[in-house]
Amino acid sequence: MKKTLYFLMLGLVLLTMASCSGVPTSVAVNPEFRSQMEGKTIGEATGNQALWGQTEDTIAKKIFPGETTKGMVRAIFGASLNVVLTDTGETWNYESSVVTIFSGSSYTRNTLIVLFDDKGIVKRYSMNVLTR
């Protein structure tokens, strides 16, 4: 009975892992992330999908202090689930993490913080990428 249960559980784990392999095709992810994940198996991907695979360089091509508006940031990254109001303006925080397994296991956590002025224009932003 224990052997049967063991093999049943092993089969279920393998089936789950096989169905999670590669980049999900139903998710609209950025092209940089899709190319980074080529040939890898994603163990877990959470948070803001638009941040998956982003770097400081790719964000610098999307957000321009003094020019980019709240509407533009929302169009690129969606609504922020963490908005902070301060005396200096409004801050939107975005986070995501991706864990790959098997072919080159890794962990990447992206954090984007965008500060808007009182007119809704990006005053400054900070992008942090942690990779292990």
pLDDT digits (tens, 9 = 90+) for 28-86: 556 666 666 666 666 778 888 888 888 899 999 999 999 999 999 999 999 998 999 98
Q: Count CB atoms within 10 A of the CB of residue 5.
A: 9
Task: Indicate whether 13 belongs to any domain.
Answer: no
Integer Cα distance of 69 and 121 in angstroms: 4
Task: Indicate whether 3 belongs to any domain.
Answer: no
* β partners of residue 92: 83, 114
Report yes or no: 127 and 108 within 8 Å, Cβ to Cβ. no
pTM for the full predicted model: 0.69
Task: Indicate whether 113 belongs to any domain.
Answer: yes
Task: Indicate whether 112 belongs to any domain.
Answer: yes
Mean pLDDT, the chain, rounded, equals 76
Q: Count CB atoms within 10 A of the CB of residue 49.
A: 18
Enclosing domain of residue 88: 29-131
Task: Indicate whether 111 belongs to any domain.
Answer: yes
Task: Indicate whether 8 belongs to any domain.
Answer: no
Task: Say what the pLDDT of residue 96 is.
Answer: 92
| Total domains in the fold of the chain | 1
- Pick the more confident residue, 100 or 36: 100
Task: Say what the pLDDT of residue 7 is.
Answer: 35
